[in-house]
Structure 1
């Protein structure tokens, strides 16, 4: 005889799971959003842009002309 334990299906319904989540939500801490600070161009190094991509971006008015 084998003593294998067969896992059974969860008896929790989707509605019960959603209810549990709704009850837990007030306990979850949401960190305050912080705006990303701009990076000085002098700190950006090691980035290589192919000339064809640079020309494409340069031609797009959204990125300045």
Structure 2
């Protein structure tokens, strides 16, 4: 069940810009950029085809790929 009680005095004009303009949004993003760092990329090493075994493809997936012109033709 959703609680629809309203507490506080939020503005009711939803069409207006509540936080500022695009420049202030870009400034906020620039300040937050340091908080959202990506992990260092891990380089994948190539695997010899002779080491790949035990891969199974369900028949429905194989039929789907066979029916696609990019893969089946």
Query: Which range, TM-score by smaller chain?
Result: 0.3 to 0.5
Name the TM-score, length of structure 1 as normaliser. 0.48
